[in-house]
């Protein structure tokens, strides 16, 4: 049996690894669009910040795929899928056949339709080539504006500060990390970020990136303007599902799969950032990881349904731990019961969100203590009615409700 | 010895278990892992781990 995997990011690579563990005999071939072997994308930020050397970007040692008897073909972009013939075609015109196909084509950086977004000096950070282009440009251009105050935007801001760039972060929402934080938590994060030397501008809608041909600055709907010679766009991702759509597979915002990771075409599975599952596009590593594993198992006929991934992320932004899981009840008007403990001076903010006594979400900021435990309790939708008043205390012992 | 969690994928490094598949015997502290060690689950670098307390 020949299994073909399109994409050598996390989902494609981990699916291949799992397939090999489960089936020593299967023929496994990976087609990667990038010229590089698998590297985890979070490493790009460390690399950009100068904290990680080039040779440590990559997850597996040289020759890993070969030793696993996985045929890895790099620099091969798939432009057409022919489900009836069970083959794909690459940009260079080569045909690759399969018995089972896994589409793990990932996502590209979203580019909002802002006039001037194609000017010289506008960058995204998605691939290693992107990171190299930005690093080369930064040598002579250090007035950076980052469009997007989400996770990636803030991580890039921090990385570029350590390259002595002057950094502004623009967010059109009225708070940072709008998907992870409520207004009070976001205000605490903002003051911590600004203490690190980054300027945060909220509620600003970018009207135009000016300069011809190279970027000189930005204009906003508010009438404000900002000088910049570098713009980094961190405005989310778009699933890379073009060839799948053209081949007639069901595509919504992402490539649609069922609980067994099957697309609408026989023998074609999908996993990772390209996927839309139960109407959701996750775009986070834990989801890609679970999907890759589920896809590998289901491709081999083991009936292993994937039920979705509860968003839970712990990250460190400006030296501050931020954990956000499930429903955060940002507006406070959805009928949830929310309990909060906050100490802005210490950068501390804890919130639990309950529905009929069950924990459906949490924000845990400024401390790592209890962060992974609370994330797990949210994933389990644990009933915490009896201990809800104590849960936010620093000394709370999570083994009580394990 | 402290456990460490991968911020990217959630894998937990437990010194009591080590990472035998990658040549790390049980009883190896996180600090003692070589700089070249990566998350055995998703492959991110050691810098992207945080201490669990």
Do the Cβ atoms of A241 and A251 come closer than 8 Å? yes
* Residues, chain B: 53
Tell me: pLDDT of B53 over 70: no
Q: Is residue A304 within 8 Å of residue A297, measured between CB atoms?
A: yes
**Cβ–Cβ of B43/A38 closer than 8 Å?**
yes
Report the chain A residue with the minimal C-alpha distance to residue B44: A40
Tell me if residue A385 falls in helix, strand or coil.
Answer: helix
What span, in angstroms and rounded, lies between the C-alpha atoms of A290 and A272? 9
Mutation target among A47, A314, A317 for the B interface, most CBs of B within 10 A:
A314
Inform me whether the C-beta atom of residue A364 falls under 8 Å from chain B C-beta atoms. Answer: no
Closest-approach residue (CA) in chain A for B34: A56
pLDDT at A224: 97
- 3-state secondary structure (DSSP) of residue B26: coil
Q: Is residue A79 within 8 angstroms of chain B, CB to CB?
A: no
- SS3 for B20? helix
Whole-angstrom CA distances from A101 to A217, A232, A261 are 45, 35, 11
Question: For residues A153 and A145, what is the distance between their CA atoms, to the nearest angstrom?
Answer: 10
Do residue B45 and residue A285 have CB atoms under 8 angstroms apart?
no
Phi and psi dihedrals of A72, rounded to 5?
Answer: -110, 115
Contacts of B38 in chain A (CB under 8 A): 56, 59
Q: Which residues of A184-197 are buried (b: 16+ CB within 10 A; e: fewer)?
A: bbbbbbbebbeebe
Q: Among A192, A110, A124, which Cα is nearest to A156's?
A: A124
Q: Is A67 on the interface with B (CB under 8 A)?
A: no
A323 to chain B: nearest residue by CA?
Answer: B7
What is the full per-residue pLDDT of chain A (402 aa) written as tens digits? 999 999 999 999 999 999 999 999 999 999 999 999 999 998 999 899 998 899 889 988 889 999 999 999 999 999 999 999 999 999 999 999 999 999 999 999 999 999 999 999 999 999 999 999 999 999 999 999 999 998 889 999 999 999 999 999 999 999 999 888 999 999 999 998 999 899 999 999 999 999 999 999 999 999 999 999 999 999 999 999 999 999 999 999 999 999 999 999 999 999 999 999 999 999 888 899 899 999 999 999 999 999 998 765 677 776 678 889 999 999 999 999 999 999 998 889 999 999 999 999 999 999 888 887 898 899 899 999 999 999 999 889 888 776
Spatial CB neighbours of A331, under 8 Å, sequence gap ≥ 6: none
Q: Nearest by CB to A316, which of B39, B42, B50?
A: B50
- The C-alpha atoms of residue A172 and residue A175 are separated, in whole angstroms, by 8
* Buried b / exposed e along A142-163 (16+ C-beta atoms within 10 A): bbbbbbbbbbbbbbbbbbbbeb
Q: In whole angstroms, give the CA distance from residue A358 to residue A298.
A: 32
Rounded-to-integer distance, Cα A92 and Cα B45, Å: 34
pTM, entire model = 0.88
Q: What are phi and psi of A108, to 5 degrees?
A: -115, 165
Say what the ipTM of the complex is: 0.73
Residues 155..174 of A with a Cβ closer than 8 Å to B: which? none
Residue A284 touches partner B, C-beta closer than 8 Å = no
> For residues A135 and A148, what is the distance between their CA atoms, to the nearest angstrom?
19
Angle at A31 between CA A54 and CA A86, to 5 degrees: 170
Which one of B7, B10, B45 has the shortest CB-CB distance to A52? B45
Q: Sorting pLDDT into bands at 50, 70 and 90, what band is B40?
A: confident
Neighbours of A164 (CB within 10 A): 10
């Amino acid at each position: 049996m020949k299994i073909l995997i399109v994409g050598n990011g996390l989902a494609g690579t981990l699916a291949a690894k799992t397939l090999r563990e489960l089936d020593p005999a299967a023929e496994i071939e990976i087609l990667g669009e990038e010229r590089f072997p698998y590297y985890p994308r979070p490493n790009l930020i460390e690399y950009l910040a100068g904290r990680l050397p080039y040779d440590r970007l990559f997850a597996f040692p040289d020759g890993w795929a070969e030793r696993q008897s996985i045929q890895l073909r790099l620099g091969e972009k798939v432009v057409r899928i022919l489900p009836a013939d069970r083959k794909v075609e690459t940009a260079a015109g080569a045909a690759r056949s399969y018995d089972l196909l896994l589409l793990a084509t990932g996502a590209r950086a979203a580019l909002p339709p802002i006039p001037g977004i194609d000017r010289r000096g506008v960058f995204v950070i998605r691939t290693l080539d992107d990171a190299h282009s930005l690093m080369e440009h930064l040598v002579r251009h250090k007035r950076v504006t980052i469009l997007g105050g989400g996770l990636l935007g803030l991580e890039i801001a921090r990385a570029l500060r350590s390259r002595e760039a002057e950094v502004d972060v623009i967010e059109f929402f009225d708070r940072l990390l709008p998907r992870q934080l409520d207004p009070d938590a976001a205000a605490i994060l903002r003051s911590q970020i600004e203490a690190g030397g980054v300027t945060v501008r909220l509620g600003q809608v970018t009207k135009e990136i000016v300069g011809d041909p190279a970027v000189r600055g930005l204009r906003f709907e508010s009438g404000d303007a900002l000088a910049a010679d570098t713009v980094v766009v961190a405005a989310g991702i778009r699933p890379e599902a073009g060839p799948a759509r053209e081949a007639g597979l069901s595509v919504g915002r992402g490539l649609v799969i069922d609980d067994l990771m099957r697309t609408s075409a026989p023998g074609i599975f999908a996993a990772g950032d390209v996927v839309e599952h139960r109407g959701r596009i996750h775009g986070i590593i834990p989801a890609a990881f679970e999907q890759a594993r589920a896809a590998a198992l289901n491709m081999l006929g083991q009936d292993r349904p994937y039920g979705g991934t509860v968003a839970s992320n712990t990250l460190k932004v400006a030296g501050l731990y931020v954990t956000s899981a499930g429903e955060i009840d940002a507006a406070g008007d959805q009928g949830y019961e929310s309990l909060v403990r906050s100490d802005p001076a210490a950068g501390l903010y804890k919130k639990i969100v309950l529905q009929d006594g069950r924990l459906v979400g949490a924000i845990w900021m400024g401390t790592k203590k209890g962060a992974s435990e609370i994330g797990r309790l949210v994933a389990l939708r644990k009933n915490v009615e009896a201990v809800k008043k104590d849960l936010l205390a620093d000394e709370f012992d999570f083994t009580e409700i394990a | 010895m402290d456990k460490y969690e991968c911020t990217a994928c959630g894998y937990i490094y437990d010194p009591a278990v080590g990472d035998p598949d990658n040549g790390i015997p049980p009883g190896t502290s996180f600090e003692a892992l070589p700089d070249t060690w990566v998350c055995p689950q998703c492959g991110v670098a050691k810098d992207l781990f945080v201490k669990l307390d």
